[in-house]
Amino acid sequence: MTFALHGLAVSHGIAIGRAHLISHATLEVEHYLLPERHVGEELARFDQAVAGVRTELDALMAHADPGAPAELTAFIDLYRMLLTDPLLTEATRALIRQQRCNAEWALVQQMEQIVAQFEQIEDEYLRERKADVVQVVERVLKMLMGRPGHPPAHAQGEHLIVVAHDLSPADAIQFKQWKIGGFVTDLGGATSHTAIVARSLAIPAVVGLHHARHLIYEDDMLIVDGARGVLIVDPDADVLEEYRRRKRALEAARAKLKRLKKAPAVTLDGVDIALAANIELPGDVAQVQAVNASGIGLFRTEFLFLNRDGMPGEEEQYAAYRGVVEAMAGNIVVIRTLDIGADKSPRGVDIARTGPNPALGQRAIRYCLAEPRLFLTQLRAILRASAHGPVRLLVPMLAHAHEIAQTLAMIEQAKAQLRERGQPFNAALEIGGMIEIPAAALALGVFLEKLDFLSIGTNDLIQYTLAIDRADETVAHLYDPLHPAVLRLIAHTIQAGARAGVPVAVCGEMAGDPQFTRLLLGMGLRIFSMHPAQIPEVKREVLRSNRAGLRRKVARLLALDDPVALRRRLARLNAAAD
């Protein structure tokens, strides 16, 4: 039966394919008794599932992305070890024999006993290893249920649609290995980091569907309309053909945009515009080069810290940063210091530190200043990478003058430590600050005086200006990039930077949305940074724009308080010939 679900459109495009459900298998285990004569078959089925997971892990290791965190190998080795642990496997086999029960139920019973033992351990790190046991059991259960932990080989690729209740940014990052067609989730907001990763992968995605995970079955035919925020389940032949036609038209339009790759990003009145790229992992550099980006305007280093326990050391970070800098061959690389908290919390971080409201708690620079050893480790790694090419260091979530002073003091301390070691770095490394808190945008004096450049993070600036948690689907409809207050804060920052001779970039999601390109150009913006997949469309808008003419029109738009009138004026601005 055909039906449609409506959610939030977070990554444009159309995906057509079969559903692959990601679930917590431990919640779906049945319990039934077996005739004595079938116990041997059940033991063999369990052994086969364990062997299947072992093969799955071997394949994961063989096809690991070179840019993936170095601890991936350690995780896989740990999972292999757990699969051979008699406390998990032999004890489960004993339960199957003694109670003549199905393998799934026996495995969960044994897992619960092991987890209970871990709960008694005083050491927090060791206590948290229970999560590794649960993850291994999940993999075995899915194999027993005929749902492997990764997409089946025949389903991988553009014909696979991942369906989940929720996905973390770390989960979404793993999609880079799968090369899936699209994904949908019950939870999530339009600018959650999971949605941002979807856009970086240039795959259609819809979030906030509420009940998709329970209404969809494995292998259902799905259509994901990432522009309209619609998921169609079991479409009939006419609907399927119509969406295939739309998909072909979209692909043809994207193919035309590729012709702009080597064209310089220059407005009709001759103003050079920098179109830089945002990346999450070193392996993303290939995408940056594929669209001929002017550089990397935002390297989100926190993704090096996800999908692992503990923090990466200085040498590992240095190798990652250096690899990106060298690959960019002389183009600027802006490396942002660790921005964790809110919806990005590595397993190695003390969760208690995030507080009752993580978005307003000890995140980003607040966390780094509270953990000087961790911060100095990253600062040394970034400084060392600056010896290999043009690097700029960007500090997130600054709001106070004392935060700037403390950060600059720690950078000087890191430089002193490197001098003692005799390790090279660029002593003139430029330091910038993120403008993503209204207080920073309204009190720019100290930022313009102490820092070399600014970068506006529109995602958080909108969140904090409008008092909306952008990961909360219940208020997602109130998230509005075109709110007059938001637009005035952005314009004020760009114009203040221009008067002071301090470069200002926009690196939030607004920079990569072509409907805002001409608006931002009219505010005076000359440096955009976005996910690589978004650059061709934004470049097209730059090439058809007259910046001088736009400035007068945008000034009139910024004076409007009526949201309806403002949107109407923006539509006319985008429809104009220049």
Do 174 and 303 contact (CB within 8 A), yes or no?
A: no
SS3 of 123, please? coil
Catalytic, 507? Answer yes
Instruction: Round to whole Å and give the CA distance between 482 and 570.
Output: 9
Reading the block at residue 154, the tokens are: 């025949």
Neighbouring residues of 441: CB distance < 8 A, sequence distance ≥ 6:
435, 456, 461, 489, 490, 492, 493
Do 257 and 536 contact (CB within 8 A), yes or no?
A: yes
SS3 of 553, please? helix
Instruction: Round to whole Å and give the CA distance between 206 and 9.
Output: 5
Instruction: Round to whole Å and give the CA distance between 62 and 300.
Output: 26
Do 266 and 252 contact (CB within 8 A), yes or no?
A: no
- Report which residue type is found at 173: I
Looking up tokens 């810290």 gives 305
Catalytic one of 20, 165, 193, 388: 193
Nearest Cα to Cα of residue 433 among 458, 396, 401: 396
- Report which residue type is found at 234: D
Instruction: Round to whole Å and give the CA distance between 555 and 480.
Output: 19
Pairing of the two strands 221-225 and 230-233? antiparallel
Nearest Cα to Cα of residue 7 among 218, 200, 186: 186
Neighbouring residues of 493: CB distance < 8 A, sequence distance ≥ 6:
435, 441, 444, 454, 456, 504
Strands (E), 39-123: none
Rounded to the nearest 5°, which phi and psi values hold at 453? -160, 165
Positions annotated as catalytic residues are 193, 507
